[in-house]
Structure 1
Amino acid sequence: MESLLKKVDLLYPEMVGWRRHLHQHPELSFQEKETASFVASHLREWGLEVVTGVGGNGVVGRLKGSGGEGPTIALRADMDALPIQDEKNCEFASKVKGVMHACGHDAHTSTLLGVAKLMAEHREQLKGMVVFLFQHAEELTPGGAYSMIEDGALEGVDYVYGIHLWTPFPVGKAYSKPGPMMAAADEFEIVVKGKGGHGGLPHETIDSIAIASHLVVNLQTIVSRTVDPTQPCVVSVGSFHSGTSFNVIAEKASLSGTVRTFDPELRMEVKQRLESIVEQTCRMYGADFSIDYKLGYPPVVNDAGEADRFYRAAAKVGEYETSPLIMAGEDFAYYLHQRKGCFMFVGAGNPELGIVYPHHHPKFDIDESAMATAAKLFISMVVDCQNEWNADKC
């Protein structure tokens, strides 16, 4: 394994090249056709069995090791970009107007391509099979994980692992934990329907903006006054749209936002509480309303035994820590509902290089050396799993 880990550093410049190519040619969720083609062509070149169009634009590569019997281990990377204008001043900035890789998925794809190439070149060191899942549409519900699973991506798989490069963490340091790690990510859209009219005659109207403003405030009491303060929970209103003129009271106002929880019961309680607050607030002011509440990705919950494997594997790569709870969501959760596995973070932030912007920011970037760390962590997880599997069979 040590020789394979060392070869990651030799492959690193090529991984950077792939990442910068993908960064310049990003594709939105459910539109990743060229990215999928790029991935599939490389996997075929290296001799993997490749299936495209899995659950949509997903690509699955299978590599059979020649080192003997072993488990089937799946490794996942997401491929999609975001509808954000790239504002970085660099030679590899996005060439697609209004679209950029603002969450590191280009680096995830390039990292897993690197792992696939190395393992293909050294398949004699592999026991069992490694399945490479290149997933579309992580950023947009219903996501690509669920449809890929429905299309057989996990067929025959025993374990599944995923890595997210994460700029809030320092470059190169790995993080994970047993049990819940990332939150369920739900969405809501509220439309307040009042009665429009002249701005100078408010008594003749039902002011949708004023009512929607009360909703923004009232919804904050869900977390502050109805949720156990020891339970992690977020209710955020992210958009508020209404009105067309300074002297017109708008007939309609729309709000949209997100709810983040870990506990399944709390998740449903918050949904019910939000719906109740909207109904009662609107009724109090005489307005009608509609609510579209979507249950998004479930929480990411790592298997305890596979989290222990992370601690062993990460120790062979470099520094690591137990991850804090992360209120962001991830559809990798669906894989963990089906198979034992572990989701991990590798730090990609570096203030010395000016890499300080958060995910989904127009100036988002990563310290690319984090890709080498992530590749080594993937390899270390696979080798540890294979060795443990063979020891159990002896």
Structure 2
Amino acid sequence: MQLQSVIQQHLSQIVADRRYLHQHPELSHQEVNTAAYIAAQLREMGLSPRTGVGGNGVVAVIEGKAPGKCVALRADFDALPIAEATGLPFSSENEGVCHACGHDMHTAGLLGAARVLCDLRSEFSGCVKLVFQPAEEDVLDSGAVKMIADGVLENPKVDAMFGQHIWPYYPVGKVAIRDGAMMASSDRFHITIRGKASHGSAPESGIDAIAAAAQVISALQTIVSRRVSPLDSAVVTIGTIHGGARYNVIADTVKLEGTCRNLNPEVRNKMEERIRAIVEGVCGGMGASGELEYFRGYSPTVNSHELFPFALETIREVVGEENAVIPESSALGGEDFSFYCERVPSIFFWTGILSPGAEVYPLHNGGLNPDEKALPIAIEVMTRCALKFLAGEK
């Protein structure tokens, strides 16, 4: 079996899929046309996709030559509310929306893996479940959670699951994987600070919510620097601040939004309490009041310790030992693949997409422009993992 040659037979269609998806991005929970495109492609392969799974999710099963285990492969397909700045001839046609996180690459890759596995179905026993997931970008209304609730891991029951994310910090040809945590938990919080309005010339007559907010923001940074061990990774970030109505009025209300990331569940469980203590304490000391709303989002994405040697060996078979990267640290970005990891043995890896000499554009940047040469690499890793697992090599 020459996987690379089978992939090459489908490569022009794989690239066409990616460019269509890139040109027609849709936001979380709005991916109706994207889901329809995926389902149509699967039907052309002779599959019978189930649509509307957990919202706009699409699931299909490729049956092998005989009964056996079930392995799932997952890709996400929602886009972001970011204007594209790549200048590509197939740039987004949906103004203000683009695939700045590479989900078009993920989905085209899984469609490619499906085409390859359909060609090879007479060579494996068991089945491969294809999981095309919406709404990965909605931390508070995750597509993974909804698909799991809708039974995606059952009928047939999934024995192992594999997923990947493009990674703009590695060149094409590199694939990265860690034993244990790959990515962090992703929680979100809102802070409302209330003071008392007064004329800007008489601050003593009011309670300045902006001044209180400034002290709260500074104090929150001490959680990571003084309340979390230097051996643990954590981030507390304030992303938005809104307050005040006029230049000469002491603001009576300020609203802050932020995110909290970490890898250690014990640290995560203490963050809400620590943020609340600072918000209420600092505001109270300045005569204001502070209110915290804390929302638990994604769990840490943790690779199966048992599957890790198998996955690493497979990656090395595809890209060579020198290109199989074991990062020194996890990333503090979040991924709702984490919810699959909590339920079945799972592996999540990063695929390098940086072209030689190209500028690095991070994820969630409108200039992100993955090198399509990464597609056959990701497809081969996913496909080899599936076939070897079903063959009992793990």
Q: Deviations over 1:103-131 (max 9, x none)?
A: 00011000000110111122112221000
What residue number does 1:283 align with? Answer: 284
Alignment-derived partner of residue 352 in structure 1: 357
Report how far residue 50 of structure 1 moved: 1.0
Taking the aligned partners of 2:142 and 2:76, their CA distance within structure 1 comes to 10
Answer yes or no: is the 8 Å Cα contact 1:237–1:256 preserved in 2.
Answer: yes
Whole-angstrom distance in 1 between the partners of 2:198 and 2:370: 50
* Selected match of 2:370 from 348, 366, 369: 366
Say yes or no: does 1:331 pair with 2:336: yes
Q: Does the 8 Å CA contact 1:5/1:379 hold for their aligned counterparts?
A: no
Q: Which amino acid letter does the alignment assign opposite residue 46 of structure 2? A: G
Matches within 5 A, 1:54-93: 54-66=53-65, 68-93=66-91
What residue number does 1:241 align with? 242
1:299-326, CA deviations, whole angstroms, 9 ceiling, x for partnerless residues?
0111112111111111111021113311
Deviation at 1:289, TM superposition (A): 2.2
AA paired with 1:225? R
- From the superposition, tell whether residues 19 and 266 of structure 1 become closer, same or farther in structure 2 (CA, over 3 Å): same
| Residue 292 (structure 1) aligned with residue 293 (structure 2) | yes
How far does residue 189 in structure 1 lie from its aligned partner after superposition?
0.8
User: 2:324, 2:170 → 1: CA distance?
Assistant: 11
* Separation (CA, whole Å) in 1 of partners of 2:290 and 2:242: 15
What displacement does 1:97 show? 1.2
Cα contact 2:69–2:126 (8 A) shared by 1: yes
SS in 2 for 1:11: helix
Match of 1:120 in 2: 118
SS at match of 1:74: strand
Q: Deviations over 1:263-320 (max 9, x none)?
A: 1111111221111000001101111222110011000111112111111111111021
1:154-303 correspondence to structure 2 within 5 Å: 154-155=153-154, 156-303=157-304
Q: Does the residue aligned with 1:316 lie in a helix, a strand or coil?
A: helix
TM-score if structure 2 supplies the norm length?
0.95
What is the distance in 1 between the residues matched to 2:257 and 2:82?
Answer: 18
1:183 partner SS? strand
Q: CA deviation at 1:7?
A: 2.0
Q: Which amino acid aligns with 2:188?
A: E
Contact 2:10 2:115 (C-alpha < 8 Å) held by counterparts:
no
Residue of structure 2 equivalent to 1:381: 385
Contact 1:199–1:247 (CA under 8 A) maintained in structure 2: yes
TM-superposed CA distance for 1:196, in Å, is 1.5
User: Which runs of 4 or more aligned residues in structure 1 lie more than 3 Å from their structure 2 counterparts after TM superposition?
Assistant: none
Decide whether the 8 Å contact of 1:119 with 1:126 is kept in 2: no
Q: Is the 8 A contact 1:316 1:380 kept in 2?
A: no
Aligned to 2:325: 321
- Tell me if structure 2 keeps the 8 A contact 1:49–1:63: no
Take 1:71 and 1:5, find their aligned partners in 2: how far apart are those partners?
24
CA distance in 2, matches of 1:59, 1:144: 11
Whole-Å separation in 1 of the counterparts to 2:130 and 2:335: 18
Partner amino acid, structure 2, of 1:57: N
CA shift for structure 1 position 172: 2.2
Which range is displaced more, 341-350 or 276-285?
A: 341-350
Residue type matched to 1:199 in 2?
G
* Residue 351 of structure 1, CA deviation: 5.1
Please state how far the C-alpha of 1:9 moved relative to its aligned partner: 2.6
CA distance in 2, matches of 1:150, 1:237: 32
Q: Percent identity?
A: 41
Contact 1:208 1:253 in 2 (8 A): yes
| Equivalent residue letter for 1:365 | N
1:65 maps to a residue whose letter is G
Letter in 1 for 2:96: G
- Cα distance in 2 for residues equivalent to 1:12 and 1:203: 70
**1:352-394 superposed Cα distances (whole Å, 9 cap, x missing partner):** 244x1100012112111111110010011112212226xx8xx
Helix, strand or coil for the counterpart of 1:147? helix
CA distance in 1, matches of 2:86, 2:3: 34
| Contact kept in structure 2, 1:163 and 1:345, CA below 8 Å | yes
Gaps of 5+ in 2: none
CA distance in 2, matches of 1:69, 1:201: 79
Asked whether the equivalents of residues 124 and 391 of structure 2 are also in contact (C-alpha less than 8 Å), the reply is no
* Count of residues in correspondence between the two structures: 387
Give the AA of the match of 1:49.
S
The answer to whether the 8 Å contact 2:76/2:107 transfers is yes
